[in-house]
Amino acid sequence: MKSSIFIPYLLRDGVILQRNQENCFWGYTGSEQEVILSYEEIILKTKSDEKGYFDIILPAHEVSESIDFKISTVDTEIVLKDICFGDVFLLGGQSNMQLWMERLKTRYPDEIEQARNPWIRYFEVPQEPSFDNIKAELTSGQWKRAVGEDLKNLSGIGYFFDKQKYEEDQVPVGFICTAVGGSPINAWLSQEVLVELNLLPDYYTELKNMNYHKKIKRFDERYQELYQKLFEMNDIGVEENWKDSDFDDEDWNRVYLNKSWSQHYQNPGSVWLRKQINVPTHLIGKKALLNLGTMIDADETFVNGQKVGGIDYQYPPRIYEIENLSEVLTIAIRLKIYQLQGGVTQTKEHIISTEGEIINLDDSEGWKIKRASYFPERKSQYFPQYEPTGLFNGMISPLSKLRISGIFWYQGESDSHEYSSYGMKFSKLIQEWREIFNNQKLPFIFVQLPNCNEKFGGKHWAELREEQAKALNLNYTGMVVSIGDGESDDLHPTNKKVISEKIYQCYKQINNGHIWGYCSGPRATKINQVGNNLFVSFQTYGKKLKLRNHIFFEISRNGRIDKLSNVELIGNQIKIILPDGLDLIGSDITYNWSNDPQVLITDDIGCAAAPFKLKIS
């Protein structure tokens, strides 16, 4: 009987292997068979074990493109094509690391169309958590080139990093993407670490029972399906065709998308908005984009009675195509609110754009509005990938035989409600992942949470940022300060190119010898009181400290928060002048301690200083 050869998905056509290091190449075939791997003038031999597993150590190889690997046994031969030796990176975290190029096309409209580089590649690890075992292999996956349509699904941060790096060194570069939207840090840690930290939940043993997951999933699916069915049935706007152009909305109330609404229109249930627009004569017949920003939670949007789009959750921007602008447009929005405080994001643009012209939808006429139903809040959907250890077992452990150049991490939004242990868990994660990849010097660069209003990002982001910064106590780590790179009204800021550039600079600094925790901007190290002055000292990484107008610090005393704004810059220290006789030794002082801080302190190239909370000594 002819035996087969199975090569893991990670190592198939188009794979990029780490240059200048020995690489492990492995697979499966018949029991105790000789396996020969050959490429270029290299011939390597091994023998599979009794279960058919084999591995071969590839000698370190310099940068190379488009090599074919031939793997053969006594009766079988396969060829893997277009293998490169270059630099390989791992992307980890949640949705802001995952955010793909298709979602970023409004900010970067030409990138997908112009992408032509076959030496930028990526592999998307399937989102398959595991609880009953630690997976040895992935169940699917394919190496893709960041070209054309394939680029649409690649992380924006990953792509812009790759692009910048390739432009500088012309080395093939690949990303292995493991980020999962909404995932908490516990999902990325092993059972052993969570036990060590006394953070393994009591119900963990139940997670190892697949019937437990099936039961929860079945109940959740029934609930979600029934909720949505009843939600749809109770909407009188659907029954009475409020979407139609000729529907009479004369007696409806009026609101504005860029202003707050009464609570009546923000409670869970269905709310309809309508607006009629007279299109300028020279734009009639043109194709256009309808941009309505973001909404909480879901929408269906109609133009002249025809549905032009709809999104069933709150985060993506509503950008819908209008094929043909008519003389009069009637826009109808069916807004489905599943949680408290629903509505349309006030601070986003609400426009129709065509051929460089804009029709403003936030004019003085406003929008007609009417409630179509009230409904209870919807329970959160169950996602097994958010449970402890599942993603570590299913998505990280199967990668352990690879050799990589670095890990980039953007996560924390889902942990801000339990921030107090985050720093400890995050440091353990870095150490554990380095052990997984057998490299204690592996660069690990993470993005500190940006500015974002509490309504969109949740509470305690200031505390979470401080917890993230504790990882800089580990060597070969880098922190990207993203204050000023966020969007107050959006959990998912789209300017990922800026973030990728900062990650790249951190990576280069670590590779150039700055191994003791590098930060993309100034970082406060201590605060001393001398007489009536406080002196805040900064690590500036060879750059100069700069202050912007209206800089202030905050101190909590006697149950109130006071601002300290009488400051001056002395080299890389900030001097805070205090009122006579004020003793603050032992007190905590904070800078930019809020969900949505502004950039006040920078270095001389404009990089923002990290927020901080320090005790005065």
The rounded percent of the chain whose pLDDT value lies above 90 is 92
Lowest mean pLDDT among 51-60, 209-218, 555-564: 555-564
367 neighbors 274 (Cβ within 8 angstroms): yes
pTM of the model: 0.95
Report DSSP letters for 447-500, one per residue: EPP----HHHH-S-HHHHHHHHHGGGGSTTEEEE--TTSSBTTBSS-S-HHHHH
Angle between the 496-511 and 156-169 helix axes, to the nearest 10 degrees? 50
Other Cβ atoms within 10 Å of 502 Cβ, number: 24
**139-197: pLDDT as tens digits:** 999 999 999 889 999 999 999 999 999 999 999 999 999 999 999 999 999 999 999 99
Q: Is the pLDDT of residue 1 over 70?
A: no
Report DSSP letters for 99-144, one per residue: -BGGGGTTTSTTHHHH---TTEEEEE------SSS--SS-S---EE
Q: What CA–CA distance (Å, rounded) separates 51 from 29?
A: 8
Rounded average pLDDT over 290-307: 97
Q: Is the pLDDT of residue 583 over 90?
A: no
Q: Where are the beta strands (DSSP E) in 362-424?
A: 367-374, 406-410
Q: What CA–CA distance (Å, rounded) separates 161 from 155?
A: 10
Q: What CA–CA distance (Å, rounded) separates 312 from 63?
A: 45
**461-498: pLDDT as tens digits:** 999 999 999 999 999 999 999 999 999 999 999 999 99
Paired strand residues for 28 = 6, 53
Backbone angles phi, psi at 515, to 5 degrees: -95, -5
Q: What CA–CA distance (Å, rounded) separates 154 from 389?
A: 25
Q: What CA–CA distance (Å, rounded) separates 288 from 373?
A: 32
**250-287: pLDDT as tens digits:** 999 999 999 999 999 999 999 999 999 999 999 999 99
534 neighbors 562 (Cβ within 8 angstroms): no
Report DSSP letters for 33-58, one per residue: -EEEEEETTEEEEEE--TTSEEEEEE
Other Cβ atoms within 10 Å of 109 Cβ, number: 10
In Å, how far are 343, 379, 487 from 458, measured between CA atoms?
A: 17, 17, 14
DSSP state of 13: T
**Omega within 30 of 0 (cis) for the link into 297:** yes
Residue 556 banded pLDDT, cuts 50, 70, 90 = confident
The rounded percent of the chain whose pLDDT value lies above 70 is 100
Domains of the chain and any CATH numbers: 184-206+383-519 (3.40.50.1110), 236-374 (2.60.120.260), 523-615 (2.60.40)
